Chain A
Amino acid sequence: MKPKPLIFLVDDDIDYLFQAKVKLEKAGYEVITAESQKEAEEIINKMKPDLAILDLMMENEDSGFILCYKFKKKYPDLPIIIATAVAAETGISFDIHDENNRKWIKADCFLEKGIRTDIFLSEIEKLLAKKP
């Protein structure tokens, strides 16, 4: 049997963390979690997940971007999703498909937190399939 892909989930909202973890485990993934940027940095130094899902705003407003940068520096091939509730609530949109943004935000994909579970899971599958 193939080993389950390992997903690293980072979010300071423990409710979101718990709910997403259950969803992902049901879908057949192994999940480890961190509740802060600091904890996430400690964990990533010890192990390499198959995919990471990061919240944008944690201790700092840009925790997600910072983590993303650090993760990619350590593991350039690690697919990263930034899950945020920013767009729906503030009207500020980040567009990863825009060339300029892609240059400095290194995430592979941006997802709104409230999206449907099937879309959430299919984005993860897509990113995992792309991996060499």
Chain B
Amino acid sequence: MPTLKILVVDDEPGIRSGVARILRNFRVDYPFMEEAYDFEVFEASTGEMGIEIIESNQPDIILLDNKLPGIQGIEVLEYIKKKQYNIIVAMITSYASLELAVKATTDGAYDFIPKPFTPQELKSSVENITKKIFLKKMTTRLQESGKQVRFQFLSVLSHELKAPLNAIEGYLKMIRERQLGGKIEDYNDVIERMQDRIRGMRTLILDLLDLTKAETSQVKRNIVDTNINQIIRNAIDTMQPYSIQKEVTVTIKGLDNVVIKADPNEMEIIMNNLISNSIKYNKEGGSVTCDVTDEGDQIGISVSDTGIGMTEQEMGRLFQDFVRIKNEKTRNITGSGLGLSIVKKLVDSYNGKIGVSSMPDQGSTFKVSLPKVAK
């Protein structure tokens, strides 16, 4: 069983022995922990003695009184901060002035335990600290192996994959139990929703494939002379059924026949995503303008729409996996939340840049800059 070292720094012997007694048989268990933690208590009656024990025994947790005979608790806290020791400190105080609390918190105190405390109060504080220590250890371990990002990705992915299945399963159950009536017509809406969810799921799977390609692309990239204007025109054609349906006009301006060294399939993924977004998040009857410009070593491709736009805050999260802007305006727009994250990964892999500017209700412009010669 792992043991955490707790140092109690307090000039009252009663408090010290009380803590030792209360924590003697105390164990902290947590659903994710492999094993329960127990505690070994060290005692110091002054701050000076506390620092000695910190140096000799490296405690995990310190319960620190502020009013001490020699140096004050807050000075011990400053010492720990200066030395950058990885110790969680809880201040034990009989009267916590706001000033002290603020100072202690900025110096890294994690918790305050009011004095006098009941055994239960002490235990619950120690329990919280233990959980924090455990989670910190877990996070470092996961980060080290790069597993955390993967874990997050997979858990969101499993949510995104399960959501349509749950919805469809629910609808099928409604049909089986004839919840909406005995006629097939009673289920028109339900069937349409099921089809929508299946379509959404298919898009997600296709996007996942693109994402996998984007992440492994450099290995087997096919770099050739690629006509960017041609790629844009193809993307516009591909999206045409969609733009017709929404009555959105898509035009291309700027330089023509711009050729760069790149993988045409990857350029296609980038342009398809940007143009499909510009139609999807547009207003009915709106327009999309694609512009190709020369920027010296790079070429610039921008896609501007006259759509719903975004706030500053929404823009910040835009390029992360599975981030979809959720608000009233996007409620009926479906998507996997992977498109822009794929685009960004690809653009990054070419040492290019992607940026966005936007005004709510006015429209957004996505601009990609790519080196003319792939590195």
Contacts and interface: CB of A to CB of B under 8 A. Distances in A.
Bound pair (A, B): yes
Interface of A: 12-16, 18-19, 22, 26, 35-36, 38-39, 58-59, 85, 89-91, 93, 99-100, 113-114
A26 B179 contact: yes
Contacts of A99: 124
Contacts of B49: none
13 contacts: A13-B167, A19-B167, A22-B179, A36-B326, A38-B328, A39-B328, A59-B327, A89-B155, A89-B158, A89-B162, A90-B159, A91-B32, A99-B124
B328 A36 contact: yes
Contacts of A15: 167, 170-171, 193, 197
A19 B189 CA distance: 12
Contact of A114 (B166, B179, B193): B166
Most chain A C-beta atoms within 10 Å of own C-beta, residue among B179, B180, B326, B327 = B326
A80 B67 CA distance: 45
Contact of B159 (A38, A58, A89, A114): A89
Given A36-B326, A90-B159, 19 more contacts: A12-B326, A13-B163, A15-B167, A15-B170, A15-B197, A16-B166, A16-B167, A16-B170, A19-B174, A22-B180, A26-B179, A39-B328, A58-B326, A85-B166, A89-B155, A89-B158, A89-B159, A89-B162, A93-B31
Contacts of B163: 13, 85
Nearest to A18: B193
A90 B155 contact: yes
List the 4 closest A-B pairs by CB distance, nearest first. A15-B167, A19-B170, A90-B155, A89-B159
Interface of chain B, main secondary structure: helix
B234 interface: no
A113 B165 CA distance: 13
Given A58-B326, A85-B159, A91-B155, A113 B166 contact: yes
A100 B124 contact: yes
Contacts of A85: 159, 162-163, 166
Given A13-B167, A15-B197, A100 B128 contact: yes
A114 B162 CA distance: 11
Interface string B310-340: 0000000000000000111001000000000
A16 B354 CA distance: 36
Interface string B22-46: 0000000001100000000000000
A98 to B, nearest CB: 10
A8 B159 CA distance: 25
